[in-house]
């Protein structure tokens, strides 16, 4: 039965060889678990047996270490698929595994850095002499001040930014555009860059290369995502920030600091360009964790 199911996945579904190998190991363990429990065939399996197998995956035994939620979920998916295949083939009368849900992987909270570290990062970016320092400061100020994705920031044209109204037009995923306000610090940093640095960078562009991008590299062409990563990493090193940062860290920090300041989650949703507020609500978990930390360190009866 297992062989037939795996052949079906290989031929009909076209699953990768590594996936098939993982499913084979998972189903072999499932068969051993059922045999140890006195179950001799799929027709004798009940929903409680499938649930017990999931528990065994997570707790481990003398021969198997406990599986992570992700690995256990893969095994449960393999088992559910096997029972569904058996039902469609008429080998069993009921799909007893249908209601056994794979465990959800642990939710990874977005990494945000404190406001003090953001300020140190921005100061470090400006420490580079010449046009590059002005550009780097403007880029990081804009990322933190608007919550823009790195692809949105490096994709900006000079005329996407309206400094008079302190707003920027960002092109998000799926081509969906949104207009986001720009804070005064970012406005000043971008103004300094446009007046004192960008013209010098633009003159270095090769003939025939259009310099319409807002952020330019040392050769006068559009700044790449990889270069933006380098700018952030080098600024973090100069600022002495030990955490491993990415451009998305500033986006996470933007959202988290807004919510810490009392912003409505739906407003933050619009600013981030999330299609669903559910995506944005992960940031509320960050602020709740921050509340717990403050409570634990401040309340006289918080620690036991």
Catalytic residue among 173, 176, 196, 219: 173
User: Is residue 173 annotated as part of the catalytic site, yes or no?
Assistant: yes
Q: Which of 29, 135, 251, 257 is catalytic?
A: 251
Q: Tell me whether residue 248 is one of the annotated catalytic residues.
A: yes
Q: Find the helix packing angle between 225-239 and 115-125, rounded to 10°.
A: 110
Strand partners, 170: 178
Residues written for the chain = 304
- Give the C-alpha separation, 161 to 246, whole Å: 23
Which listed residue (149, 198, 252, 257) is catalytic?
149
Coil, strand, or helix at residue 95? Answer: coil
Question: Given 84, 169, 204, 248, which residue is catalytic?
Answer: 248
Is 204 noted as a catalytic residue in this protein?
Answer: no
Tokens read off for 37: 């429990």
Contact 1, 27 (CB under 8 A): no
Active-site amino acid positions: 149, 173, 248, 251, 274, 283
């Amino acid at each position: 039965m297992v062989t037939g199911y795996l052949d079906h996945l290989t031929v009909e579904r076209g699953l990768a060889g590594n996936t098939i190998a993982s499913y084979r190991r998972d189903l072999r363990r499932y068969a051993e678990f059922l045999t140890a429990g006195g179950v001799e065939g799929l027709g004798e399996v009940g929903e409680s047996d499938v649930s017990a197998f999931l528990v065994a995956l997570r707790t481990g035994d003398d021969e198997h270490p406990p599986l992570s939620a992700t690995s256990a979920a893969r095994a449960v998916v393999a088992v559910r698929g096997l029972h569904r295949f058996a039902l469609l083939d008429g080998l069993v009368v009921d799909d007893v595994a249908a209601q056994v849900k794979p465990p959800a992987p642990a939710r990874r909270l977005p990494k945000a850095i404190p406001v003090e570290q953001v300020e140190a990062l921005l100061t470090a970016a400006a420490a580079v002499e010449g046009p590059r320092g002005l550009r780097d400061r403007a880029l990081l100020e804009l990322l933190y001040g608007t919550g823009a994705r790195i692809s949105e920031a490096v994709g900006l044209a000079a005329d996407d930014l309206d400094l008079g109204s302190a707003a920027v037009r960002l092109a998000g995923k799926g081509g969906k555009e949104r207009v986001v306000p720009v804070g005064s610090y970012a406005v000043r940093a971008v103004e300094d860059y446009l007046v004192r640095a960008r013209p010098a960078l633009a003159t270095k562009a090769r003939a025939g290369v259009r310099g319409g991008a807002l952020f330019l590299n040392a050769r006068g062409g559009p700044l790449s995502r990889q270069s933006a990563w380098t700018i952030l990493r080098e600024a973090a090193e100069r600022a002495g920030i030990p955490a491993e940062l990415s451009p998305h860290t500033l986006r996470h920090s933007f959202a988290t600091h807004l919510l810490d300041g009392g912003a409505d989650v739906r407003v933050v949703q619009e600013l981030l360009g999330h299609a669903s507020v559910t995506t944005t609500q992960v940031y509320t978990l960050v602020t709740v964790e921050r509340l717990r930390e403050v409570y634990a360190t401040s309340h006289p009866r918080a620690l036991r």
